[in-house]
Chains A and B, each alone.
Chain A
Amino acid sequence: MTDLLDDAARLRRGLPDDVGDRIVESLYTDAARIAEASVDRDDARAKLTVDRALDRVLTHRVWGFLAMGVLFFGVFWFTIAGAAVPSDLLYVLLVENGHAWLRDGFDAVGAPWWLTGLLVDGVYLATAWVVAVMLPPMAIFFPLFTLLEDFGYLPRVAFNLDRLFARSGAHGKQALTMMMGYGCNAAGVTATRIIDSRRERLIAIITNNFSICNGRWPTLILMGTIFVGAVVPPALAGFVAAGSVVAVVIVGIGVTLAVSWLLSRTVLRGESSVYSLELPPYRPPQVLRTLYTSIIDRTLKVLRRALVMAAPAGAVIWLIGNVHLGDASVAAHLVTAFEPVGWVIGLNGVILLAYLVAVPANEIIIPTIVMLTLTVGANTLGAAPGVMLELGDDAQIGSVLVSAGGWTLLTAVNLMLFTLLHNPCSTTVMTIWNETRSVRWTTVATLLPLGLGFAVCALTAGVARLVGWA
């Protein structure tokens, strides 16, 4: 049945070696001829395009990076400044009043204390907290980010970063998957399919976690606002807070490049692929449509996921806080066990326990930390357990963390670093497994960031203590 193939081979021998190139060339000649005959070009108008002028700035070796910094800083600043008021409102409505009403309601119908505790103090409170902390920043951040994407800016970022990625032995398209990761790491890992070489694809998968995802932005923004912004005069607080978030993003890009470089020099050695990156034309963003889709598709989707994760996590938090083993609650035992490690890396036992509870979703880190601090911290400090109801706004969350949790600026800074550098959420880990089908690489992608997080946080804690800042 291979007579045809033999014929083909015989005919091919009669043709020059570059027959493939000639066929392609012939195709492109025809395409050029048809295009030439069908297109009428008004060159005078074509030269006036804003695109070229914009690209000259946005992809400039120096101005390009500056513009990148300014644009992202602007996005974060808008998010931080704009989310404060609605966040406070939601907080008062859902966490303070909503919780009190629900508690009264449960008391009124004579529900047993453990049921009220599990459902109201656990499930409801965690969920309400997630909504109050996450909804406003997401509702501002996603539309802004999507507008940039719609405008055609993201490929320019990839273009700017391409040289850096090429130098670290990674694929230039990794800049694009990294951008996807800023939305969601699971999506970013899936997006690495655009990289054909397995070696470069693995590098992109392993380093995708260094792009801060949806679930982690709120933690960074909150820490930046409460702790970092608080050390400067109020007038500058917003700028410094946004600056601290941008700083973490830049550290993330640095770590991405460094880890890519290390991997491509050691276990994932090989050739760099060549590729062409098409810079699409700038398009006026469709503002209303973008607002609609980014709120429906991204904000609500992420929020739904957060809620689905927060509800059981709330129950777990309440249970470990209220089930006693011997003289202390399960949570207290765990916190005590984690405390030494936590201290070494400039965090504390509560934070490490919170990361354990929040493996399914990073979104619930802050609520988990606050609730655990209140349950465990309140007992150790001898404060009334009802203190959590008096939390009014971000500043009060901060004061609770400081007074009941013993937090310092070092704790906050290290939490920001740890937010960047820790294991991916379980969804991302599953996605990595699906995409690589390799236990080894899934393990590497999970544990490498965690190890880095421990190392970096231990280093900053050590230095800070040595210098006497903490």
Chain B
Amino acid sequence: MGAPLPSPGVGPPPHEDAGACASCALSPGSARLARLGMDPGRYDHVIALAGNPNTGKSTVFNALTGLRQHVGNWAGKTVARAEGGFSYGGVGYRIVDLPGTYSLLSTSTDEDVARDVLLFGRPDVVVVVVDATRLERNLPLVLQIRQITGRVVVALNLVDEARRHGITVDTRHLTRELGVPVVAMAARRGQGVPDLLAAIAQVATTDDPPAPLRLVHRDAALERAVADLAAKVEARFPGVPNSRWVALRLLEGDAGIEEAVRNGTLGDLATPVEAA
């Protein structure tokens, strides 16, 4: 139950040449982007990259960092966690590629790893890569992440493929529903990368991120229990932003979250920044 994200500000001294690397100018429309590969140097923000398997997470990761992590067209390709960095508009970012998962329900090691990073690592931005051709199957993960945090950018990837299949996604409507920026992308062609960067920068620097999503359950008994328990979570751990999500997990009897209650790790989620 660790918080395996590095904390900002540590690492080698800043790169003086950020933004001046010759090859970076090649990426269209993102002249302010400097890809720093595996050596991000000093960084200000941490980004977690989440998504279902085979949605193009690795492609997005490569587009941002300039790394060439092998990209495969099958689910479960990325086993080990990859990290890289980039600088955008003079601000350093460290990006952590999480294993692809369909949910955060903690049924496999991958899901545990992803959930722990998202919950306890408290990244400044969570980029959720979503397959535009299979939106319905991808949304449960987005909703679960949104229940944990508001610092989310949805990268709606593979819109080119969706178009070929006669599928159009209304990003404005999706943005309204999810309450966070949704960026249409075709990462394989480098389309949408500038928009994604802008959205990341905006979410990373905002002092007032959207509140975690409240999904109201239609089942009245369940809804009452969640509301009741969420209030108790807040009383016990003041300032925890995602009390309803924690309440749901406790109702399910999630061992990892119960442990975090027992040893008080959950209290760390109340950040001084967000409490202030």
Contact = CB atoms under 8 A, between A and B. Distances in A.
A173 interface: yes
Contacts of A26: 215, 217-219, 222
A106 interface: no
B10 to A, nearest CB: 27
Interface of chain B: mostly helix, strand, loop or mixed: helix
A28 B142 CA distance: 11
Interface string B235-276: 010000000000110111100001001101000000000000
The interface size bin for chain A is 35 or more
A196 B108 contact: yes
Contact of B174 (A3, A34, A41, A278): A34
Contact of B166 (A35, A46, A280): A46
A296 B170 contact: no
Contacts of A16: 221
B161 A283 contact: yes
B168 interface: yes
Classify the interface of chain A: helix, strand, loop or mixed.
helix
A280 B73 contact: yes
A193 interface: yes
Contacts of B178: 34
A133 B142 CA distance: 50
A437 to B, nearest CB: 15
B23 interface: no
A149 interface: yes
Interface string A103-124: 0000000000000000000000
Interface residues of B, number: 61
A8 B229 contact: yes
A286 interface: yes
Nearest to B161: A281
Contacts of B165: 45-46, 49, 281
A191 B262 contact: no
Contacts of A19: 222, 251-252
A297 B70 contact: yes
B225 A190 contact: no
A39 B169 contact: yes
A36 B137 CA distance: 11
Interface in A7-23: 7-8, 11-12, 14-16, 19-20, 22-23
Which residue, B72, B217, B253, has most C-beta atoms of chain A within 10 A? Answer: B72
B222 A22 contact: yes
9 contacts: A12-B251, A14-B221, A27-B144, A38-B171, A38-B173, A154-B72, A158-B74, A196-B109, A296-B68
Interface of A: 1-5, 7-8, 11-12, 14-16, 19-20, 22-24, 26-32, 34-46, 49, 149-152, 154-155, 158, 173, 176, 190-191, 193-194, 196, 277-278, 280-281, 283, 286, 293, 296-297
